[in-house]
Structures are given as structure tokens and as C-alpha cells.
Amino acid sequence: MTKKKKFRTHKEMIIGRSMYLCVNQKFQVMDSKTVEFDQLIDRGCGIDVHKSLLVATIRGTGIKEETREYGAFTEDIESLHKWLQENKITHIAMESTGVYWKPVFNILEADFEIILVNARHIKNVPGHKTDKKDSRWISKLLLSGLLKGSFIPPKPIRELRDMTRYRRKVVEQISSEKNRIQKILEDGNIKLSSVVSNMSGAVASKIVEDLIAGEEDITKLVSYRHGKMKASETDLAKSLVGNLTAHHRQMLQLIKQSIKDKEMLIDKLDKLIDEHLKANELELDRDLLSTIPGVGKEGAEYIIAEIGNDMSVFEDEQHLSSWAGMSPGNNESAGKKKSARITYGDKNLRPVLVQCGWAASRTKGTYLRSKYDSLVARRGKKRALIAVGHKILIAAYHILKDKTAYKELGGEFLINRKKDKKVTQLIKQLKDLGVEINYEQAV
């Protein structure tokens, strides 16, 4: 009985994890204790990045492999910069560790070609992991050309990202504050949310303002009701009977003030974003993206902030879709597909695309609406929205690449395409049966 072959060295074990990185690259196993890769980069450095520690390993032609540790302060990074220049390093690879890679990147990007790598792609074998071993392994993969860098947009786009992401956070905070208003009212036995469709609407806002001011006359509060409300005056009056104390009114007043402050902050962010787009000549790109149904001005700003306006950094539209996490994944073994769920991607871009897809599904007479309707019945709302978001991203790629507005195909496009395909299939079947038919004459 033959025994199963075991790995003798740590490096041989890592080869098993890194096989998928070796596409179109050659590697040679010299013996059981030595693993050698073809060297494609002359001199490189691998950096293991932490919050307060940087571990750097240099290696390559004409220099001795050396590992040093540096702090994460600006002065320490400058010392690292000087050491790398003295050894004529040309390429640097480091993990995308939280936000801790950014100070290193900001100082070193001017003089070196930096590859920011997803930590999942260079994961070490458990039990053999140290900071020094990680930096050495990164440097070895770098010299062998086995690392695939992450997309890092230029500085103007990174600055736009900061503003749009912060604006989105503030909008989410406002939503949380509005939910707190409802919670306080429920605590005071006010069931207003049960009779109004929108707690941020005109009727609910006026009633809450009067409640904060101490108004207790139910008749006056009910007078804010308008004819379009589904709830009757009686139901509205019953919902406003409660026990709202002075404490409740104080809390509601504080929450209302917090919402006003955040709305003012959003207005300031909108102005800053507009000025930034003008200063960096990105207004045209935003206007072109706004022509996509469901995207609008803010959606276009979010998309530009995440993918930039230079599409040459992506091989094609499918590469962009995969990077964004909007494409089906591949998980196949023994000829069986186990899962096709979407891949990991930009966690800030995907919610925006889904939100734009939801808005597009509410438009009339558009291709995106017809696409949603064709999928939602058999695939469900969530998958249908992902598919529409994928279509929006593909359209955005071509719009930014060609600098042209969105071309609407119309709501009948899918129906006509299915019809033409079905007619072609039927004509082929008739020809196979020996029946000749002229489709144009038949129509």
C-alpha cells in the first residue's frame, strides 16, 4: 500500500495555495527543499503593513536579501523610502490592510511602482505565519510576477470617494434618526406610524412638530390630514391618543435638531462635490452617466467616485463587472456547478448599483424595466435587481469609454429579440422537414 505524499517544507505547502497565481508563469521545483520561481522583476520589496509596524524585505539581482522593521510614523516611512532608494528598488508589493496602507502609499507612490494586493490572494499556511515570513513571501511573489495589483484610482478620484462615501454615511445617519423618532413616539403610546405611509411626509412632520411644541388638542392635529390619506380621521385621532411626557418631547426635539444639522452637512457636501467635479473636469462624465434610467445625478457621482472615469485600467466591461462583484462566480468540481453566487467586490459600489437598479425598475417604457420584469417572476426581486445593476454598470463602462450618452433600446427590445429568435428556430425546423417558407412574405 502506497503512502500519501506529504509536504516536506513550508514552501512546498504554500505552492499548493498559490497554484492559481501561476497562470501563464513558469515555476520549477528543484528538489524537496527548494522552490524556485522565474524572476521577472530585478529588484523588489515586500511590505507587511500593520497599524504601528512595517516589516519590509528586499531581494533581487545584485543585492542581498534583507528584512527590516520600521514604525508607521511619517519619519519612519521616510527612512524606509531612503533605504529602498539606496538599494535601487523599483517595485513594491504590500497588503491592503484596512486604511494603514494609505500613509505608506502616499509617500512611496512618486518614486516606486506599488502593487496593492488583496490579502486573500497571498494568505500563508496557518502555523507558519510571522511578520518577517509574510514580507519575505510577498517579496518572492513580487519578483516572480505572481501578484495581481488592486485598482487604485488617481488622487482626484480618491478625494471624490471620500466625499461621496461620507455623504452616504450621513444619509444613513439621518435614516437612523428618523427611526428613533418613531421609537420615541411608540414609547409614548403614539401610533402615528400605523396610519401614515411615510413618517417623513408633510402630515407626519407637522404633527410631530406640534407634539414637540406641547400641542395636546387632537382635533387640531387631525386637521393636518389630507384627502389622499388612506386612514380615516377617526383612525388618525385614535393613533394620536397617548402618554407623551416632557422627556419624550425633549428627546424628539434633540433628534429633530440632529436631522437638521445633518441635512445642512449634506448641502455643504453637495457643494464641495460640485466644485471638485468642475475643478477636475468630471462634470461631463457625470452628465453622461445621468442619462441612464434610474441613475440620476447622485448615482452618477457615486459611480465615478468608485470606478473613476478612465476605463483603460479595466480590460473590458466584464472585467469591471467582476471587480465590482456584480458577476456570477464560478465554483465547479467534477463537472458539477456548486454555486453561482456573485463574487466579492467593491462593497460601496454594489449597493449604489442595486439602488439605481431599483429606481430603473420603476421607470416606464425602458429596456432596464423590461429586463427587470422578465427576471423578477422566475428569479426573484434580489437577483433581478443585481442583474439590472449589472446592466447599468456595463452601460456606464461604455459611456465613460466612448464619452457618449446612454442609448435607450426601449421596452419592446427584449420582446422583439425573443420573437425574432423564436421565428428563426421555427423556420429552421420547417426547412428540416422540407418545407420552404419566405418569412417576409408570411409577415
Provide the CATH number for the domain around residue 136: 3.30.420.40
- Domain match, 69 and 85 both: yes
- Tell me which residue has cell 512611496: 108
The pLDDT value given to residue 150: 83
Q: Which of 134-138, 369-373, 420-424 has the lowest mean pLDDT?
A: 420-424
**Residue 339 predicted with pLDDT over 70:** no
The reply to whether 429 falls in a domain is no
The reply to whether 421 falls in a domain is no
Q: Tell which of 143, 175, 197 closes a domain.
A: 143
Residue 3 CA to residue 90 CA, distance in Å, equals 46
In the chain, the N- to C-terminal Cα span, in Å, equals 73
Q: How many structural domains are present in the chain?
A: 3
The pLDDT value given to residue 29: 35
Query: Under 8 Å CB-to-CB from 149, ≥6 apart: which residues?
Result: 114, 115, 116, 117
Structural domain boundaries enclosing 392: 283-328+342-402
Residue 61 half-sphere exposure toward CB, CA atoms < 13 A: 9
- Domain match, 109 and 211 both: no
- Domain match, 271 and 290 both: no
User: Which of 171-182 are b and which e, b meaning 16 or more Cβ less than 10 Å from the residue's Cβ?
Assistant: eeebeebbebbe
Which of 164-173, 182-191, 237-246, 340-349 holds the top average pLDDT? 164-173
Query: Under 8 Å CB-to-CB from 168, ≥6 apart: which residues?
Result: 302, 348
The reply to whether 434 falls in a domain is no
- Domain match, 293 and 347 both: yes
- Domain match, 162 and 200 both: yes
The reply to whether 308 falls in a domain is yes
- Domain match, 128 and 62 both: yes
Q: Tell which of 97, 116, 143 closes a domain.
A: 143
Q: Which of 27-31, 42-46, 424-428 has the lowest mean pLDDT?
A: 27-31
Q: What is the mean pLDDT of residues 32-36?
A: 43
Q: What is the mean pLDDT of residues 319-345?
A: 76
CB atoms within 10 A of CB 317: 17
The reply to whether 432 falls in a domain is no
- Domain match, 362 and 386 both: yes
**Residue 28 predicted with pLDDT over 80:** no
- Domain match, 292 and 316 both: yes
- Domain match, 162 and 260 both: yes
Is the model more confident about 411 or about 371? Answer: 371
The reply to whether 21 falls in a domain is yes
Distances (CA, A) of 248 to 128, 253, 411: 57, 9, 51
Q: What is the mean pLDDT of residues 268-288?
A: 94
The reply to whether 422 falls in a domain is no
Residue 148 CA to residue 315 CA, distance in Å, equals 13
**Residue 99 predicted with pLDDT over 50:** yes
Dihedral pair phi/psi, residue 249, rounded to 5°: -65, -40
The pLDDT value given to residue 360: 93
- Domain match, 134 and 16 both: yes
The reply to whether 321 falls in a domain is yes
- Domain match, 69 and 95 both: yes
Q: What is the mean pLDDT of residues 307-324?
A: 90
The pLDDT value given to residue 433: 83
The pLDDT value given to residue 142: 87
Which of the four pLDDT bands, split at 50, 70 and 90, describes residue 124? low
**Residue 338 predicted with pLDDT over 90:** no
- Domain match, 199 and 261 both: yes
Query: Under 8 Å CB-to-CB from 286, ≥6 apart: which residues?
Result: 277, 297, 300, 301, 304
